[in-house]
């Protein structure tokens, strides 16, 4: 409206009043007071015609947007390495559970996974969660995640963990994890933080593990020197 940046809901009378008010002298308090009363009355009148509640479609859209935001971040709840005989070789929990609940999950998940045949799907449901597993040689790598999480991403995280262990140990096998399980936990801690992927670079993970190894070697040398 002639260069005036005003809301579209203002009628012509209000626009004219605003123009008059802006052109009034600051000393004309009576005219400015009348203008203020008029504008407040117009605002009250406009607010009375506005809907008091948002339409259902808008509420539904905002709810879906919140759900999409929560689904963006996905986290693994636990990771279990299981042998063909049902022995737990490694267990990492990213949620707070009692020892009884952990033992129940390990027992149930072990029975479900070991009973499945080779060509069956790598995903299965367990209560309100989802189990994603993959077999490497004699070990089953089992991850528990939310039922809304992406199974393929979880499967890729498992594979990345195996690749990094294979890089560190050199053709990793079950015996490596049994006799050097602390390194397997170190690699997992560098890869995942609170169940979420924090470092996808194999070089960075191996560099951090190498630094830990060098620190351990220095501590061992110091202890030997003290004994000598």
For 35-68, the pLDDT digits (tens) are 666 777 777 776 666 565 556 555 555 555 565 5
Question: 144-157: per-residue pLDDT in tens?
Answer: 988 888 888 899 99
For the segment 107-111, the average pLDDT, to the nearest whole number, is 91
pLDDT at 46: 66
Q: What is the pLDDT of residue 1?
A: 46
In the predicted model, what is the mean pLDDT of residues 91-115? 91
Residue 131 has pLDDT above 60, yes or no: yes
What burial letters (b/e) apply to 178-209, b meaning 16+ CB within 10 Å? eeeeebbebbbebbbeebebebeeeeebeeeb
Tell me the average pLDDT across 79-95.
90
- Out of 4-13, 66-75, 179-188, 208-217, the most confident range is 179-188
Question: How would CATH label the architecture of 72-223?
Answer: 2-Layer Sandwich (3.30)
pLDDT band with cut points at 50, 70 and 90 for residue 107 = very high
The pLDDT, as a whole number, for residue 79 is: 93
| Residue 2: per-residue pLDDT | 46
């Amino acid at each position: 409206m002639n260069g005036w940046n005003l809301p579209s809901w203002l009628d012509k009378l209000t626009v004219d009043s605003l123009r008059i008010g802006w052109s009034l002298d600051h000393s004309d308090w009576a005219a400015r007071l009348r203008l203020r009363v008029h504008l407040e009355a117009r605002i009250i009148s406009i607010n009375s015609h506005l809907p008091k509640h948002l339409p259902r479609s808008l509420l539904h859209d905002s709810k879906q947007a919140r759900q999409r935001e929560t689904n963006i971040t996905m986290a693994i709840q636990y990771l279990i390495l299981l042998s063909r005989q049902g022995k737990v070789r490694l267990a990492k929990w990213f949620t707070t559970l009692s020892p009884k609940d952990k033992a129940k999950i390990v027992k149930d998940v072990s029975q479900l996974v070991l009973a499945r045949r080779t060509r069956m799907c790598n995903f299965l449901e367990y209560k309100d969660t989802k189990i994603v597993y993959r077999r490497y040689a004699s070990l089953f790598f089992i991850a528990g995640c939310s039922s809304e999480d992406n199974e393929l991403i979880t499967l890729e995280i498992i594979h990345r963990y195996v690749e990094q262990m294979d890089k560190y140990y050199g053709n990793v096998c079950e015996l490596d994890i049994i006799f050097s399980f602390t390194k397997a936990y170190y690699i997992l801690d560098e890869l995942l933080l609170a169940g979420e992927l924090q470092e996808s670079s194999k070089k960075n993970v191996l560099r951090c593990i190498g630094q830990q190894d060098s620190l351990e070697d220095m501590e061992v040398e110091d202890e030997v020197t003290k004994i000598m």
